[in-house]
Structure 1
Amino acid sequence: MTNNVEILRYAAFTHDPEGGNPAGVVLDAGGLSDAEMLAIAAEVGYSETVFVTDRDDESRTFRIRYFSPAAEVTFCGHATIAASVILAERIGVGRLVFDTKAGEITVDTVVDGETLRATLTSVPAHSRPVAEQTLDETLAALGWSRDDLDRAFPPHVAFGGNEHLMLAAGSRERLADLDYDFEGLRSIMTREGWTTVNLFWRESDERFHSRNPFPVGGAVEDAATGAAAAAFGGYLRTLGTGSDEFTIIQGVDMGRPSELKVSIAEADGRTRVGGGAVAMEVPALPGGPAASQGLQQAGGPAGPRSE
């Protein structure tokens, strides 16, 4: 399937090929069918592959689609960052405009020292409290109890292009101990329309640690989740807590440390999420490095999601 298609493999939200979240990027996907894009994403084996289906380099506008190994997803932050850095390397830095199924996403690319950085601006973000019964079901699937939660951060469902459940761990140790019922959590998330469960712990108002189970996309966990970070900005804005600028540290417990720079950009909750991206030296194919880093596949269909 991949023989006649150029697939670039970049790790996003890092400058180290051994860190960050791997993404596949196909810059010339205009002639591919939905089935072909899904098959390529499954063959690549990362949590997402982004496909540029239409492009105008002069106006710097692009139509893009995202596929996990299981299904098309609405929006993916880390794949957007990866594609943006690649495009900036090829056509120069500046603003890029992406037409996605979640809406228009702008990305500003700049040279930062000897590296490129990309910062996306999300659609308007917001959040609402999660239903009590749904919360109890989710905690049971995670193997958590309400005593494991930080009561300063009430559980919410947050939106930043799609929906993510926000759960605050009461300690770093609770966040580090992730061993959940994959099929049980996937069933709940599919029913509720959630993309990830954003588990986080506050080190300070300017620094959070996060983990994102992603069973609906066929992955146990993601190493960096830009869409969840955008939704998290909307969540903090709804609560009226914390700083307007903060850093999310993710992927440490997977062995792929990532750093996401986040700021709440607008009064409507639009969130900026930025970081670097770097070419990966060795493809992580299914059953290889990706599987060992928690990106293993799971069988069965999943509905449209984003990450």
Structure 2
Amino acid sequence: MTIDANGSSPVNRLSPPAEILRYSAFTHDPAGGNPAGVVLDASGLDDAAMLTIAAEVGYSETAFVTGRDEASRRFRVRYFSPLAEVAFCGHATVALAVALGERLGTGEIVLDTLAGEIPVATMVDGKGAVLATLTSVSTHSRPAATAELDAALKTLGWAPGDLDPALPPHVAFGGNDHLVLATASRERLADLDYDFDGLAEVMRRHGWTTVHLVWRESPERFHARDPFPVGGVVEDPATGAAAAAFGGYLRTVGLVTGPATIAIRQGEDMGRASDLLIDVDPLDTRTRVTGQAVPIG
């Protein structure tokens, strides 16, 4: 399934009475970033209706606000891909937070998700754009098992020699599990042509939401690509949940030894450039993920 954000209205009524907003997250350009659907009032929708809407919207995820307490700025949220519900989605969280900030005013909100409580801070930057910083649930990371790694490399068409030995393969968690594989070259990252059905089967078997492929440009800057076949999407242009998990990975493998801000460039190779910032502290198991979102119109 391809992601096509061009020519769409910010508001569509696909499955009345739900009103669907469309935002692109981790970008200032509607033609970039990762599109997400946002339903600010899903209190009358059941699971089947939300899954149907997510499939009709066609983006990698749509966020649904199923309950709210505006006085305390607390919201219950669920996320659906076109094929299934996911416990947490970072880019749809940023899109939702920006949409709420534009309507209710910026500040602190709290989202209750299937992955746990997610605080989000919104603010207006110097150019008038709303920025959102989510704080993930506690992250953790473990080395990938040999069988896991071999199966993933086979479906990606990669060899063990394509990997960066300084960044070991791990399964990292930041609300969902993601296999983290670091390439030794930018060229290997750019040349992505994988077995869609094969990788989807491997990911379902091991419970991975995406495969987070990265290349280290510098200690403070990485490039990433995220195949997402289990969600019915070939590739995610920006993956906030994987970025949160990657923060935990960097902490676990000792690549962050003090408070650090890491830039992640994603979506470039698929023509939807996205910029994510993560803040990682070795003394805090959570990751803070920052980005902006703009309406698609």
**TM-score above 0.5, yes or no:** yes
Question: Which residue pairs with 1:222 in the alignment?
Answer: 236
- Please say which of residues 237-246 and 92-101 is displaced more in the overlay: 237-246
Question: Following the alignment from structure 2 to structure 1, what is the Cα–Cα distance between the partners of residues 162 and 144?
Answer: 17
Note the 1:16-31 alignment, pairs <5 A.
16-31=29-44
Q: Is the 8 A contact 1:119 1:275 kept in 2?
A: yes
Pairing partner for 1:241 from 246, 255, 258? 255
1:59 has 2:75 as partner: no
Question: Following the alignment from structure 1 to structure 2, what is the Cα–Cα distance between the partners of residues 2 and 9?
Answer: 14
Note the 1:114-133 alignment, pairs <5 A.
114-133=128-147
Question: Which residue pairs with 1:297 in the alignment?
Answer: none
Q: Is the 8 A contact 2:203 2:209 kept in 1?
A: yes
Question: Following the alignment from structure 2 to structure 1, what is the Cα–Cα distance between the partners of residues 236 and 187?
Answer: 19
Partner SS state of residue 9, structure 1: strand
Note the 1:256-267 alignment, pairs <5 A.
256-265=272-281, 267=283
Question: Following the alignment from structure 1 to structure 2, what is the Cα–Cα distance between the partners of residues 184 and 5?
Answer: 35
Q: CA deviation at 1:259?
A: 0.3
Note the 1:277-292 alignment, pairs <5 A.
277-281=293-297
Question: Following the alignment from structure 1 to structure 2, what is the Cα–Cα distance between the partners of residues 188 and 104?
Answer: 29
Question: Which residue pairs with 2:209 in the alignment?
Answer: 195
Question: Following the alignment from structure 2 to structure 1, what is the Cα–Cα distance between the partners of residues 16 and 294?
Answer: 23
1:38 has 2:59 as partner: no
Amino acid at match of 1:162: N
Question: Which residue pairs with 1:14 in the alignment?
Answer: 27
Amino acid at match of 1:32: L
Q: Is the 8 A contact 2:152 2:202 kept in 1?
A: yes
Question: Which residue pairs with 2:85 in the alignment?
Answer: 72
Question: Following the alignment from structure 1 to structure 2, what is the Cα–Cα distance between the partners of residues 266 and 72?
Answer: 31
Question: Following the alignment from structure 1 to structure 2, what is the Cα–Cα distance between the partners of residues 214 and 275?
Answer: 21
Pairing partner for 1:178 from 192, 214, 229? 192
TM-score, normalized by length of structure 1? 0.90
Pairing partner for 1:165 from 176, 179, 182? 179
Partner SS state of residue 59, structure 2: coil
Amino acid at match of 2:289: V
Amino acid at match of 1:152: A
1:137 has 2:151 as partner: yes
Partner SS state of residue 269, structure 1: strand
Amino acid at match of 2:202: I
Amino acid at match of 2:43: G
Question: Which residue pairs with 2:168 in the alignment?
Answer: 154
TM-score, normalized by length of structure 2? 0.93
Q: CA deviation at 1:2?
A: 2.2
Question: Following the alignment from structure 2 to structure 1, what is the Cα–Cα distance between the partners of residues 152 and 239?
Answer: 20
Structure with greater contact order relative to length (CA < 8 Å, sep ≥ 6):
1
Q: CA deviation at 1:266?
A: 6.4
Partner SS state of residue 234, structure 2: strand
Cα RMSD of the aligned pairs, angstroms, is: 1.0
Q: Work out the number of aligned pairs and report it.
A: 281
Q: CA deviation at 1:5?
A: 1.8
Question: Which residue pairs with 1:251 in the alignment?
Answer: 267
Question: Following the alignment from structure 1 to structure 2, what is the Cα–Cα distance between the partners of residues 265 and 223?
Answer: 26
Question: Which residue pairs with 1:305 in the alignment?
Answer: none
Identity of aligned residues (%): 67
Q: CA deviation at 1:265?
A: 4.5
Q: Is the 8 A contact 1:126 1:231 kept in 2?
A: yes
Question: Following the alignment from structure 1 to structure 2, what is the Cα–Cα distance between the partners of residues 175 and 42?
Answer: 29
Partner deviation per Cα, 1:125-181 (whole Å, 9 max, x = no partner):
110001112211110100000010000000000011110000001100000000000
Amino acid at match of 1:202: R
**Alignment gaps of 5+ in structure 1:** 282-307
1:205 has 2:205 as partner: no
Question: Following the alignment from structure 1 to structure 2, what is the Cα–Cα distance between the partners of residues 133 and 123?
Answer: 28
Question: Which residue pairs with 1:84 in the alignment?
Answer: 97
Partner SS state of residue 285, structure 2: coil
